[in-house]
Amino acid sequence: MLANLKITEYLEKAAAGTAVPGGGSVAALNASLAAGLTEMVANLTFGKKGYEAVAGEMSDISARAAELREKLTAFIDRDAEAYSAVMAAFKLPKATDPEKELRKQEIQKAFKQAALVPLEVANDAVKVIDLAGRAIDSGNKNAVTDGVVAAMNARTAALAALYNVKINLVSIEDDEFVKELTRKINDLKQQAKSKEQEILASIMI
């Protein structure tokens, strides 16, 4: 599993001349790192003197960020698996008309899944931006820059994942599916950008 590799091993695989891990997997990794940093800011606040009033909120942020971190870590592999399924579909036999039709259906099915996986990553990355913003607003002021890095990383992860959705949509023939995902792409893109801008505008350092 990619998620179980050492950092240096993952980087070597990412740098190799192979299709996986690619941008979608890296986007999931960035989003999971952002969730981890958000969790850290909350944990550095919880139980600290002067932050008693926000202990409940920090506990909630920590728990939610931990859940997202674990989910997004799993998507490091899920994205790679989705793309591998696309490549496998293209290798199906096509000697007869029934084989050609089955191959076409499997390719379309694989492309849809390859689009849905990074879409979920982007959606979760936007949730991380929200949590990071809350952690920055109420959390330990000594960890404010860690929260900012979390928000920025999550924004980048969201936009990166959305580009991976878009590239798969190009090959999908289901117009309604493409239309619906395009709408979601535009919405998540706007959310990621505006939420990050609001957070950066609030930082007074």
Report the pLDDT averaged over residues 139-168: 97
CB atoms within 10 A of CB 16: 10
- Indicate the pLDDT class of residue 200, thresholds 50, 70 and 90: very high
39: amino acid identity, one letter: E
Match 């404010």 to its residue by tokens.
144
High-pLDDT (> 70) share of the chain, %: 100
| CB 28, CB 2: distance < 8 Å | no
Closest among 9, 27, 116, 22 to 72, alpha carbons compared? 27
- What's the pLDDT score for residue 114? 97
In order of their start, the domains of the chain are 20-202 (1.20.120.680)
Cα of 73 vs its chain's centroid, Å: 9
